[in-house]
Amino acid sequence: MSLSDIQNRITKAEADAGRAAGSVTLIAVSKVQPDARVRAVLEEGHRSFGENRVQEAAGKWPDFREDFDGIDLHIIGPLQSNKVRQAMELAEAIHTVDRPKLAKTIARLAQEMGRCPDLFIQVNTGEEDQKAGVMPREADDFIAECRALDLPIKGLMCIPPVDEAPSLHFALLAKIAARNDLSGLSMGMSGDFEQAIALGATHVRVGSAIFGDRVSE
């Protein structure tokens, strides 16, 4: 599909959910995509992008920023403590705050750097052993811990299990966010972003539907 097709589907999903047009940010997931594909989407005017790996982001986004203004870069993959400074220097948002050690590292560096990206806490809504994220039953305490560190927590993020109805996980994430007075919901990908919007998503992460299949590494 083209970028405009996805944008039109988002606009329709917003309207169908009774939400204001433009209330959902489309994050174009550019991980493992050739620079030419990413540049083509930039040339269409899109500015919000998502990267999984800090090292990959560092290899391409400084150059793109020289050619395009207003880039809004989101780190959406697991973040190692030794990559935090680089991530904070590169990105406008980090979606994968998932453990106390990481939160404390971000807080320390934010004081040192005098700035901090917007932060989303990743919740492991499916309680999957192989997946990152705080468990739902621990989410309230972790949110409070992050706020006590004066971190700019904007919302929550989840990646539903592949073999379960995503809407159940989107609804759970929305419930946790609501009781903690968080407005941001980073949820929904290429196959289910319309369901996510219906359940309150503010950020949807769409890759293959915009860029085509990922290029294997």
Q: pTM for the complete prediction?
A: 0.95
DSSP 127: -
Distance separating alpha carbons of residues 71 and 14, to the nearest angstrom: 23
- Output 214 or 157, whichever has higher pLDDT: 157
Which of 140, 215, 126, 211 has its CA nearest to residue 175?
A: 140
Task: Report pLDDT for 216.
Answer: 54
* Separation of CA 136 from chain center: 18
Q: Find the helix packing angle between 35-43 and 54-67, rounded to 10°.
A: 40
Burial of residue 40, with CB atoms counted within 10 A of its CB: 0-12 exposed, 13-18 middle, 19 or more buried: middle
Phi, psi (rounded to 5 degrees) for 154 = -95, -20
Q: What is the mean pLDDT of residues 101-119?
A: 98
List pLDDT tens digits, range 78-100.
999 999 999 999 999 999 999 99
Confidence of residue 213 (pLDDT cuts 50, 70, 90): confident
Cβ density class 43-69: b for 16+ within 10 Å, e for less:
eeebebbbbbbbebbeebbeebeeeee
Which of 88, 192, 86, 205 has its CA nearest to residue 157?
A: 205
150 touches 106 (CB < 8 A): no
- Output 102 or 31, whichever has higher pLDDT: 102
86 touches 117 (CB < 8 A): no
Q: How many helices (H) and strands (E) are present in the chain, helices listed first?
A: 9, 8
